[in-house]
Amino acid sequence: MIDINIIRNNRELVKENIKKKFQDEKLPLVDEVYELDKKVREIKTSGDELRKKRNDISSEIGTLMRNKEIDIANKKKEEVVEINNKLVNLEEEESTLSKQIKDKMMVIPNIIDKSVPIGKDDSENVEIEKFGEPIVPDYEIPYHADILESMSGLDKDSAGRTSGNGFYYLMGNAARLSSAMLSYARDFMIDKGFTYCIPPFMIRSDVVNGVMSFSEMDAMMYKIEGEDLYLIGTSEHSMIGKFKDQIIKEDMLPITLTSYSPCFRKEVGAHGIEERGIYRVHQFEKQEMIVICKKENEMEWYNKMLSYTVELFRSLDIPVRTLECCSGDLADLKVKSCDVEAWSPRQKKYFEVGSCSTLGDAQARRLGIRAKGENGNYYVSTLNNTVLASTRALIALLENNYEEDGSIRIPKALRPYMGGLEKINKLK
């Protein structure tokens, strides 16, 4: 949610931003909010004037009562009652209009950074940089589900019976490898100075509405029937929600956290759920990084966080590239976002394994997260980035460490988490 002052003072900037995001249907909202806000401010002025008048009359009543001018005092009391009735009506009108403003402001997209490339959808995202040599070996790399099954590591048939399509059992060394990657990612971020957290895996609707747009919520979140609770799609949701309605001491900034959680996603959309593999599923695990900082430090942390994900994947012998998300591919709350994509030697192309984003103060405004500075309170900036998402990272590791004999080479960084194991052999 943007600052209402931007609409008051620069409507054209907001409209131009909407056009850059190819959401022209939202253009009328800007003028609607402007006019509603004007009415609210007029109501506030009228209310202030009435309250001053009421205070003046109340003082008069006191004087009249002391002077025994009871009849005049009673007439003045009637005026006070009339003013109180008007104030009640004004306050009701102000409340109604303020809700209308908030509802409209919640769907006006955040102002994107000037560096964001303009484009309609993810097909127009822009490659920034490649890290590591994207090698295609002279032997065939099987589909990741076949690699997992060859080590007796994947059972989707049983998961289909227990839970339906989009779920899976990881077994044996495959499950151990997935856990090893998550443990390594946790320790990697702790070594970077981040505080490790395990958050609640369910959050209330007011937190959901604070951290994401309505369209994202509908496409992603599972609601718990009969309760005001949603399963989280990423731990960013509950980690940012941790600071809801809080005033943070400025000397505590930046707050740097890394959190583990299972993630639950409906994955509604044209892409669908993957039938055989684990690339797009309803449930996975993730290590996340979250930063809360001052506005002036936002881009410094954005670049730093992005570099951490690249560094982690390179330490696992996985080539990656960074891809700048264009304006039309940015979620409404985001100021700037970059995807990290891992190399797939089987497909001979890159695929998404993480995303780094700054949301400016949009989430902070929705959730009431402020810092207390020398010159008063101000809204903080919030950032999030995937350290490692279990299923996609596992796919990337399997493909890039697959040997000709069907075994999987375990990167040195993971061997301490695998009991010193250097290789996982093919079992069938």
**Residue range 182-217, pLDDT digits in tens:** 999 999 999 999 999 999 999 999 999 999 877 777
The answer to whether residue 274 scores a pLDDT higher than 70 is no
Is 410's pLDDT higher than 60? Answer: yes
- Indicate the pLDDT class of residue 268, thresholds 50, 70 and 90: low
Q: Are residues 56 and 179 in the same domain?
A: no
Q: What is the pLDDT of the chain when averaged over all its residues? A: 94
For residue range 41-56, what is the model confidence (pLDDT) as tens digits?
A: 999 999 999 999 998 8
Residues 60 and 126 in one domain: no
**Of the listed ranges 36-40, 145-149, 216-220, the one predicted with least confidence:** 216-220
**Quick one: average pLDDT of 398-408?**
96
The pair of structure tokens assigned to 397 is: 């590791």
Does residue 220 register a pLDDT over 90?
Answer: no
**Residue 415 pLDDT more than 60?**
yes
State the pLDDT confidence band at 273, using cuts at 50, 70 and 90: low
Q: Summarize pLDDT for 54-94 with one digit per residue, the tens.
A: 988 888 888 888 888 888 888 889 888 999 999 999 999 99
Pair 280, 234 in one domain: yes
Q: What is the band of 391 on the pLDDT scale with cuts at 50, 70, 90?
A: very high
Does one domain contain both 97 and 134? no
- pLDDT attached to residue 76: 87
Residue type, 194: F
Query: Is the predicted pLDDT of residue 272 greater than 70, yes or no?
Result: no
Structure confidence at residue 269 (pLDDT): 56
Give the pLDDT mean for 259-269: 87
Quick one: which of 381, 359, 356 has its CA closest to 248?
381
Tokens matching residue 335: 């100021």
Residue 382 confidence class, pLDDT cut points 50, 70, 90: very high
One domain for residues 14 and 71: yes
Same domain, 86 and 137: no
pLDDT digits (tens, 9 = 90+) for 139-152: 999 999 999 999 99
The pLDDT of residue 396 is above 60: yes
CA atoms within 13 A on the CB side of 227: 9
235 and 183 within one domain: yes
pLDDT score at 62: 83
Mean pLDDT value across residues 313-337: 96
- Same domain assignment for residues 247 and 382: yes
Q: Are residues 77 and 33 in the same domain?
A: yes
**Residue 344 reports pLDDT greater than 80:** yes
The answer as to whether 146 is a domain residue is yes
Check whether 34 has a pLDDT greater than 70: yes
Are residues 309 and 178 both part of a single domain?
A: yes
Same structural domain for residues 16 and 156? Answer: no
Instruction: Please report whether residue 212 resides in a domain.
Output: yes
Q: Domain for residue 110, yes or no?
A: no
User: Where is the domain boundary, 105, 131, 156?
Assistant: 105
Give dist(CA 284, CA 395) in Å, integer. 13
pLDDT of residue 66: 85
Q: Report yes or no on 209 lying in a domain.
A: yes
pLDDT digits (tens, 9 = 90+) for 111-128: 999 999 999 999 999 999
- Enumerate long-range contacts of 75-84, CB under 8 Å, 24 or more apart: 80/54, 83/50, 83/53, 83/54, 83/57, 84/54
Residue 139 maps to which CATH number? 3.30.930.10
pLDDT in tens, 156-173: 999 999 999 999 999 999
Residue 112 within any structural domain of the chain: no
pLDDT band of residue 275 (cuts 50, 70, 90) is: confident
Q: Is the pLDDT of residue 359 over 70?
A: yes
Q: Which two tokens stand for residue 16?
A: 């131009």
What is the pTM (predicted TM-score) of this model?
0.90
Looking at the fold, whether 384 and 245 belong to one and the same domain comes out as: yes
Give the residue from 264, 212, 205 showing the smallest Cα distance to 229. 205
Structural domain including 88 reads 4-105
pLDDT reported for residue 271: 61
